């Protein structure tokens, strides 16, 4: 492996005692270390409020790895690279102390001045931290400086723009890595490969052959202890503005002229620019919302959203969104992209269904058993792979046509081997590959699209809430949205790849 593939870095992790750091970031860094993708030339400074010694912090890191990976080879050596700095984000002196520590570690581990600032904490601190990093000289370094930030990036276009302006005082756009952890998922990255590396799909990938595309991202969990945050967000901001629109952009974009960050992003931006804008009056024609009531999930009774912790008993917040997106360009004119996402649904899964148009003349017409359309299913999670639904003759004497499925499962046996999204994203940010992070232009366009919807929904109380029971696939209005077009949602929860 070259040095570019094994980058050196000082990672300053703000929010080091938080849930994200514990569940995702420490296990991901450990995996990268074990694979030799980061060498001894790295150090992590954990930054958080509570006072901890380096030893206590290292124990915290080791515990999180043991809990989440269950392995401990070379763990002491790995953890010895972790240092702790107790800090309050508004304390200027504390940034100066952090700078001194950074310089010492830079020297000790030969880090060439490379600095990655990872903000794993509440977004209201992002602006303040970025400004202090600049004013106290932490961004003044001879190596690279990069800012990695978690969602949400703003609450609407206006707040996102304000935040962006503050961050940009300290970092250039190409130094800002806005995480969308869906973009780190193996099969999301595979969308491009399926489309652009196969002669059989790309010629069909347009409005002549595709009837509609459905993107479903369903969760079985409720809001858990995140009620306070979720009340101000809802499914639209939490899922649609970022992950769902990113998946649509990857599905709909034109082939980039090269597989570089800039070219891919510019094609995705063109898709977002082509999204048909809605007037306020049209919002409810294209988008519907849901909120879960009490129900049963995985055999257990669960409460409705309004009875969750820190949730208003009269809450108007949506826990489910379904929408129809029209991409008004030459390739996609007339093809609906349906999206849906929600909490407390029947299954935890993210799947894309590409439904092809019916063949022009059906030689096998049988009203009792109509031919199934061809489907390409891209399984994003929990299983990863693709399935192609074709029609074939049932073997034997009968002339019955049956649907058959060609499956490719990415990880049919050993689930542990699949790299976690965060591992990829961390590695990419250390190598300087921003392809799988969102550019400001994408963030801005997505917010502008979503703002129209949230504006209408926030100002009209939805009287039907709660309108779907926990453990179902969403409200009736979501089915009606497709029925208006003569379409229906495929039962994706039943499309599971058979594993060997």
Residue 18 interacts with ligand NAD (CB under 6 A): yes or no: yes
State the minimum distance, in angstroms, from the CB of residue 57 to ligand NAD: 11
- Taking the C-alpha atoms of residue 165 and residue 90, their distance in angstroms, rounded to an integer, is 19
Residue 425 interacts with ligand NAD (CB under 6 A): yes or no: no
Count the residues in the chain: 500
Asked if 379 is an active-site residue, the reply is: no
DSSP 464: T
Q: Is the dihedral of CA 171, 172, 175, 176 positive or negative?
A: positive
Which of these is catalytic: 243, 379, 389, 439? 243
Nearest residue to ligand NAD by CB is 18
In this structure, what token pair is assigned to residue 426? Answer: 């961390």
Residue 333 interacts with ligand NAD (CB under 6 A): yes or no: no
Residue 217 interacts with ligand NAD (CB under 6 A): yes or no: no
Residue 88 interacts with ligand NAD (CB under 6 A): yes or no: yes
Residue 98: how many CB atoms within 10 A of its CB? 20
For ligand NAD, the binding residue among 120, 236, 275, 321 (CB under 6 A) is 120
Residue 321 interacts with ligand NAD (CB under 6 A): yes or no: no
State the minimum distance, in angstroms, from the CB of residue 109 to ligand NAD: 23
- Taking the C-alpha atoms of residue 91 and residue 85, their distance in angstroms, rounded to an integer, is 12
Decide: 180 and 424 in contact? Cβ < 8 Å.
Answer: no
State the minimum distance, in angstroms, from the CB of residue 151 to ligand NAD: 5
Shorter beta-carbon distance to ligand NAD: residue 121 or 271: 121
Phi then psi for residue 486, to 5 deg, are 75, 20
Where are the alpha helices (H) located in 9-80, listed in sequence order? 19-20, 26-34, 54-68, 75-79
Residue 253 interacts with ligand NAD (CB under 6 A): yes or no: no
Shorter beta-carbon distance to ligand NAD: residue 48 or 248: 48
- Taking the C-alpha atoms of residue 236 and residue 246, their distance in angstroms, rounded to an integer, is 13
Residue 343 interacts with ligand NAD (CB under 6 A): yes or no: no
Q: Number of H helices and number of E strands within the chain?
A: 15, 19
Shorter beta-carbon distance to ligand NAD: residue 94 or 316: 94
For ligand NAD, the binding residue among 9, 11, 12, 20 (CB under 6 A) is 20
Sheet containing 385-393, strands listed edge to edge, beginning at the edge strand earlier in sequence: 287-290, 320-326, 336-342, 210-218, 349-356, 375-381, 385-393, 401-409
Residue 132 interacts with ligand NAD (CB under 6 A): yes or no: no
Shorter beta-carbon distance to ligand NAD: residue 150 or 219: 150
State the minimum distance, in angstroms, from the CB of residue 429 to ligand NAD: 15
Residue 227 interacts with ligand NAD (CB under 6 A): yes or no: no
For ligand NAD, the binding residue among 6, 87, 324, 389 (CB under 6 A) is 87
Decide: 187 and 379 in contact? Cβ < 8 Å.
Answer: yes
Residue 442 interacts with ligand NAD (CB under 6 A): yes or no: no
* Burial class (CB within 10 angstroms; exposed 0-12, middle 13-18, buried 19+) of 60: buried
- Taking the C-alpha atoms of residue 474 and residue 344, their distance in angstroms, rounded to an integer, is 9
For ligand NAD, the binding residue among 68, 71, 123, 373 (CB under 6 A) is 123
Residues in contact with ligand NAD by CB under 6 A are 15-21, 23, 48-49, 87-89, 120-123, 150-151
Positions annotated as catalytic residues are 243
């Amino acid at each position: 492996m070259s040095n570019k593939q094994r980058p050196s870095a000082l990672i300053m992790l703000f929010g080091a005692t938080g849930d994200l750091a514990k569940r995702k970031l420490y296990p991901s860094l450990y995996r990268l270390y074990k694979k030799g993708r980061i060498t001894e030339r790295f150090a992590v400074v954990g930054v958080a409020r509570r006072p901890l010694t380096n030893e206590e912090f290292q124990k915290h890191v080791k515990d999180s790895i043991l809990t989440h990976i269950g392995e401990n080879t070379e763990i002491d050596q790995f953890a010895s690279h972790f240092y702790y700095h107790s800090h309050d984000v508004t304390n200027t002196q504390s940034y100066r102390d952090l700078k001194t520590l950074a310089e010492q570690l830079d020297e000790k581990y030969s880090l060439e001045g490379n600095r990655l600032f990872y903000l794993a904490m509440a977004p209201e601190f992002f602006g303040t931290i970025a400004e202090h990093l600049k004013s106290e000289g932490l961004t003044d370094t001879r190596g690279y400086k990069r800012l990695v930030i978690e969602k949400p990036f703003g609450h609407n276009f206006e707040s996102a723009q304000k935040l962006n302006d503050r961050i940009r005082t300290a970092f250039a756009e190409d130094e800002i890595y806005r995480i969308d952890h869906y973009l780190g998922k193996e099969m999301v990255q595979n969308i491009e490969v399926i489309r652009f590396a196969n002669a059989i799909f790309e010629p069909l990938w347009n409005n002549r052959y595709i009837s509609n595309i459905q993107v479903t991202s369903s969760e079985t969990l409720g809001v858990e202890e995140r009620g306070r945050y979720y009340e101000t967000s809802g499914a639209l901001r939490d899922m649609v503005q970022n992950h769902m629109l990113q998946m649509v952009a990857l599905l709909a974009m034109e082939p980039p002229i090269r597989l570089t960050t800039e070219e891919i992003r510019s094609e995705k931006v063109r898709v977002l620019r082509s999204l048909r804008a809605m007037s306020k009056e049209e919002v409810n024609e294209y988008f519907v919302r849901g909120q879960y009531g009490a129900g049963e999930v995985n055999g257990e009774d669960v409460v409705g959203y309004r009875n969750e912790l820190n949730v208003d008993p009269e809450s108007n917040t949506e826990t489910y969104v379904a929408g129809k997106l029209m991409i008004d360009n030459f390739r996609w004119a007339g093809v609906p992209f349906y999206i849906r996402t929600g909490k407390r649904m029947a299954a935890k899964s993210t799947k894309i269904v590409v439904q092809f148009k019916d063949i022009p003349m059906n030689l096998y017409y049988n009203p009792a058993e109509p031919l199934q359309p061809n489907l390409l299913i891209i399984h994003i999670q929990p299983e990863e792979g693709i399935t192609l639904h074709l029609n074939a003759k049932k073997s034997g004497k009968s002339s019955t046509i049956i649907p058959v499925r060609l499956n490719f499962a990415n990880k049919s046996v050993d689930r542990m081997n699949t790299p976690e999204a965060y591992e990829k994203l961390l590695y990419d940010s250390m190598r300087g590959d921003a392809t799988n992070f969102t550019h400001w232009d994408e963030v801005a366009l997505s917010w502008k699209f979503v703002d129209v919807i949230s504006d209408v929904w926030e100002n009209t109380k939805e009287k039907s809430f709660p309108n779907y029971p926990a453990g179902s696939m969403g409200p009736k209005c979501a089915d009606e949205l497709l029925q208006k077009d003569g379409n229906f949602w495929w039962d994706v929860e039943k499309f599971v790849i058979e594993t060997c």
